[in-house]
Structure formats: structure tokens, C-alpha cells
């Protein structure tokens, strides 16, 4: 974020945002199934581990204004799933491989098996898969607007992500084309600008987004399975947007039928699918509360 955007120059960007995004992080990489997985850490080691996982076509910088707010109580990390952010691209993707990536980061960063995971959207299901395949590797999972649709609910009517790669002639043109998926408005333009500026890479004389356009077509077995939710044995919490297109009260009720435990769930008012972009302060408050419940 440019210095002229700092408070005191007429900016309406809140102080807490700058405090968070200016907190220093350290980049790391670990090899999982012949690909490098990039992750970043904040703060000192030795505290309970807390890992943040992004959604489809996103990356670890989506958490820059959220993750540092938990340093008083946790050692914090955020990862780039392969095919997104600064991690390698694969010829083929699968939930099983993503589960290994999650565990690979937990191992490499040195988080013990009492670690907690916070995962948004697509990343949430990859974390559910990891919890099924490696049930003793972490202790709790907070799903952020991520669940499984009731079998009687039709999927949302929207174009499939992916397709022909887009190359923009310059960075500013690309930034002007940044959009959330699924499409939604977001009143916090400063958050969108920050994320957009960390989502671009120089490519072939122009600028492109940091995700594999072939990922949707290269994903094998990505459909969400009821048995994976029935198989959850770790502690669970859910945060969702009360206006989300992808998570409804019926979704929550169906999850309560499947998951073999009671779990806390919080609906964030005036938030859509990208809950922590829409209502970041309310999200942090809700997440603190759920993490306390899962950590007890």
C-alpha cells in the first residue's frame, strides 16, 4: 500500500489495516509431490500453530490483514496451494494432493498436532480432506463460508472458472480488471486494491494473474463428498456470510446432520461469500471466539 494512503492524508483506511499488512512475514517453501509449496510465517515460534488457507484462485496475501492480528496467542502461517499464488503449477490436481500439501506445510513450519487451521471456500474442502486423511495431524478446523450443499439444492448458476489465459499489457490495466469470484460487491475498496496488487505477475511482456487457468480442468475428484464431513473427528467451527451465495442456513443444517459432533457456527451480518473482506473486524472477533472454543 502506497505511503500516501496512510491515515493523516485524508485516507479513510483504518489504522488496524496498516498495522496488520505492515507486520513483517517470512517466506518459505517446502516440496510436496515434486512441487514447491510456498508459505509465509509471522511472529515467533513456540506458540500454538495457526494456519490460514485461501480459496480458489487466491493466495496467502488474502490473509495479510487478518493473520497478524492473532500473533498474541499463536504462531501464524498462511500457505499458497499449488496452482495459485507463488506455489508451483501441477499437471494434475486432486484433494488428496492438496491434503498432503497442508500437512507438508504443518510439518515444515514445525506446528505440532494441536495446531488449528482456518480455511476459506475451496481451501476449506481441501482442509476437510486433510482432516479425513490425517486425522491426528491437527486439532481443529474453522471453515469460512465453506461447506457442502444439500443434495436437493441446485448449484449456483454462474460461469465455470478457468479457460483462456488473460494477459494484460500493463499492471494498471490488469488491476482495473480485478474481480471477486463468485461476483459480489465489496465496500472495502482498499482491501480489494491490496489483494489485487499482490495477485499479479509479469509474464510474456505483460501481466497475468497468479493462478493456473487450467486448474479447473486439471482437477480430479474435486466434488464435495458427504462422507468426508461424516468422517470429521477433529473439532470444527464455521463462520459464514449471512448473505452468501454459496452458504445458506440449509447448508449449515445439512452439515449438522453429517458431522458427528456439535460445532459452533457464526453468521456474519452484511457479509457475502468473501466474509473477511466484507466485514473484517466482525470476522476477526468471531474467529477469536471460535478459536478459543476449539482450543479449550
| Domain containing residue 287: CATH number | 3.40.50.1820
Residue 164: the pLDDT is: 46
**Can you read off the three cell numbers belonging to residue 93?**
490436481
Average pLDDT value for residue range 162-186: 86
The number of beta carbons lying within 10 Å of the beta carbon of residue 143 is: 27
What total of structural domains would you count in the chain?
1
Q: Has residue 97 been placed in a domain?
A: yes
Confidence of residue 244 (pLDDT cuts 50, 70, 90): very high
Report CA-CA distances (Å) from 10 to 13, 262, 280: 9, 47, 21
Q: What residues are paired with 53 via a beta bridge?
A: 79, 119
**Can you read off the three cell numbers belonging to residue 34?**
515434486
Confidence of residue 222 (pLDDT cuts 50, 70, 90): confident
Q: Has residue 111 been placed in a domain?
A: yes
Buried b (16+ CB within 10 A) or exposed e, 44-62: eeeebbbbbbbbbbbbbbb
Q: Has residue 159 been placed in a domain?
A: no
Q: Has residue 209 been placed in a domain?
A: no
For residues 287 and 118, the answer to whether their CB atoms sit within 8 Å is: yes
For residues 200 and 207, the answer to whether their CB atoms sit within 8 Å is: yes
Q: What is the mean pLDDT of the chain?
A: 93
Of 3-12, 17-26, 211-220, 273-282, minimum mean pLDDT range: 3-12
Residue 5 has pLDDT above 90, yes or no: no
Q: Has residue 89 been placed in a domain?
A: yes
Average pLDDT value for residue range 139-154: 94
Q: Has residue 244 been placed in a domain?
A: yes
Q: Has residue 5 been placed in a domain?
A: no
- Per-residue pLDDT tens over the stretch 62-97: 999 999 999 999 999 999 999 999 999 999 999 999
- Expressed as residue numbers, the domain containing 256 is 13-150+225-295
**Can you read off the three cell numbers belonging to residue 207?**
501481466
Q: Has residue 259 been placed in a domain?
A: yes
Residue 9 has pLDDT above 60, yes or no: no
**Residue of 78, 63, 240 whose CA lies nearest to 148:** 240
Average pLDDT value for residue range 122-127: 98
Angle in degrees, CA 37, 208, 272, rounded to 5: 75
| SS3 track for the chain | CCHHHCCCCCCCCCHHHHHHHCCCCEEEEEEECCEEEEEEEECCCCCEEEEEECCCCCCHHHHCCCHHHHCCCEEEEEECCCCECCCCCCCCECHHHHHHHHHHHHHHHCCCCCCEEEEEHHHHHHHHHHHHHCCCCCCEEEEECCCCCCCCCCCCCCCCCCCCCCCECCHHHHHHCCCCCCCCCCCCHHHHHHHHHCCEEEECCEEEECECCCHHHHECCCCCCHHHHHCCCCEEEEEEECCCCCCCHHHHHHHHHHCCCCCCEEEECCCCCCHHHHCHHHHHHHHHHHHHHHHC
Prediction pTM value = 0.94
User: Residues 6 or more apart from 159 whose CB is under 8 A from it?
Assistant: none
Amino acid at each position: 500500500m502506497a505511503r500516501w494512503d496512510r491515515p493523516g492524508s485524508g485516507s479513510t483506511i483504518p489504522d488496524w489495516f496498516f498495522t496488520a499488512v505492515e507486520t513483517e512475514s517470512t517466506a518459505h517453501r517446502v516440496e510436496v509431490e515434486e512441487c514447491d509449496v510456498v508459505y509465509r510465517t509471522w511472529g515467533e515460534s513456540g506458540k500454538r500453530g495457526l494456519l490460514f488457507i485461501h480459496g480458489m484462485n487466491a493466495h496467502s496475501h488474502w490473509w495479510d490483514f487478518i493473520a497478524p492480528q492473532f500473533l498474541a496467542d499463536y504462531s501464524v502461517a498462511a500457505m499458497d496451494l499449488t496452482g495459485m499464488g507463488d506455489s508451483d503449477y501441477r499437471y494434475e490436481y486432486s484433494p488428496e494432493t492438496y491434503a498432503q500439501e497442508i500437512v507438508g506445510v504443518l510439518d515444515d513450519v514445525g506446528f505440532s498436532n494441536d495446531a488449528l487451521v482456518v480455511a476459506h471456500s475451496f481451501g476449506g474442502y481441501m482442509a476437510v480432506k486433510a482432516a479425513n486423511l490425517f486425522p491426528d495431524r491437527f486439532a481443529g478446523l474453522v471453515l469460512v463460508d465453506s461447506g457442502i450443499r444439500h443434495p436437493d439444492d441446485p448449484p449456483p448458476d454462474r460461469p465455470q472458472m478457468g479457460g483462456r489465459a488473460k494477459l494484460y499489457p500493463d499492471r494498471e490495466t490488469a488491476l482495473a480488471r480485478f474481480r471477486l469470484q463468485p461476483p459480489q460487491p465489496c465496500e472495502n475498496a482498499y482491501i480489494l486494491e491490496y489483494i489485487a496488487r499482490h495477485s499479479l505477475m509479469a509474464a510474456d511482456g505483460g501481466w497475468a494473474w497468479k493462478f493456473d487457468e487450467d486448474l479447473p480442468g486439471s482437477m480430479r475428484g474435486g466434488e464435495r463428498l458427504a462422507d468426508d464431513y461424516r468422517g470429521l473427528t477433529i473439532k470444527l467451527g464455521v463462520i459464514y456470510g449471512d448473505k452468501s451465495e454459496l452458504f445458506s442456513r440449509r447448508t449449515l443444517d445439512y452439515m449438522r446432520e453429517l458431522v458427528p459432533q456439535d460445532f459452533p457456527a457464526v453468521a456474519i451480518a452484511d457479509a457475502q461469500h468473501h466474509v473477511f473482506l466484507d466485514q473484517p473486524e466482525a470476522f476477526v472477533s468471531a474467529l477469536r471466539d471460535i478459536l478459543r472454543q476449539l482450543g479449550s
